[in-house]
Amino acid sequence: MRTPDPRPGAIFREGLWTRNPIFAMVLGICSALAVTTTVRNTLVMFLGVLFASVLTSVAVSLLRHRIPGSYRLMVEMLLASTLVIVFDRALRLVLPAVSRELGPYVGLIITNCLVMGRAEAFAMTNPPLPAALDAAGCCTGYGLVMLAIALVREPLGLGTLAGYPVMPAAYEKCGLLVSPPGAFLCLAALLLLVNTLRDRRPGGEP
């Protein structure tokens, strides 16, 4: 891996596009496929991942000189699961309906490769502020990709956008898009689009 640009803005931007977790590293796609049937669930999931990832990265970065090498993964995981428990509890209190719909996926933020990946690859070797920015950038990039998928799947598959009907009444809903196979096909199509764009613009800036 090349050395990251030290400027804070650049760290954030790199996570957004160049090192976008889904396009560049194909990490954390479990939830990108599972929760993108509606825009609302996608946004909640994004907030959860952002919360867990940024705070895990900051905590790991603060403790990085004290964590013994061989227990590294264990410590990172315990920090992440503590934060996910906090998020899960808060979600149950504030939005019980969304919490039920997301089901196991909130708990699975713990093993989301994105959270562990940023803690392991960046926060272990960098001070807290860059670590937070790196995690925030990657999560935002991740969130935008999930949102892009949700913006295709919800209107075409359910005829609504964030819960409000947007399609004309005569529109026949495309059930395939909100079913599991549709999720795989949507992400494959998106990867094709992004790779084509990247080929055209080798600089990689958005």
Count Cβ atoms below 10 Å from residue 185 Cβ, excluding itself. 13
Subset of residues 9 to 28 that bind other proteins, contact rule: CB under 8 A: 26-28
Contact residue for other proteins among 30, 63, 67, 174 (CB under 8 A): 30
Subset of residues 66 to 105 that bind other proteins, contact rule: CB under 8 A: 73-74, 77-78, 81-82, 84-85, 88-89, 92, 100, 103-104
CA–CA separation, 168 and 183 (whole Å): 24
> Count residues contacting other proteins (CB under 8 A)?
43
Asked if 73 and 116 touch (Cβ cutoff 8 Å), the reply is: yes
Three-state SS at 160: strand
**Closest CB to other proteins among 30 and 162?**
30
Count Cβ atoms below 10 Å from residue 104 Cβ, excluding itself. 7
In the beta sheet, which residues pair with residue 161?
164
**Closest CB to other proteins among 104 and 168?**
104
117-132: string of b/e by CB count within 10 Å (b at 16+)? bbbbebbbebeeebbb
181 is a site residue for other proteins (CB under 8 A): yes
- Least CB distance from residue 109 to other proteins, whole Å? 9
**Closest CB to other proteins among 39 and 187?**
187
Helix 39-62 with 113-121: angle, nearest 10 deg: 30
**Closest CB to other proteins among 74 and 166?**
74
H/E segment holding residue 161: strand 160-161
31, with CB counted inside 10 A (0-12, 13-18, 19+), is buried
**Closest CB to other proteins among 7 and 92?**
92
Site string for other proteins, 116-145 (x = CB under 8 A): x-----------------------------
Q: Which residues bind other proteins (CB under 8 A)?
A: 26-31, 33-34, 73-74, 77-78, 81-82, 84-85, 88-89, 92, 100, 103-104, 107-108, 110-113, 116, 179-185, 187-188, 191-192, 195-196, 199
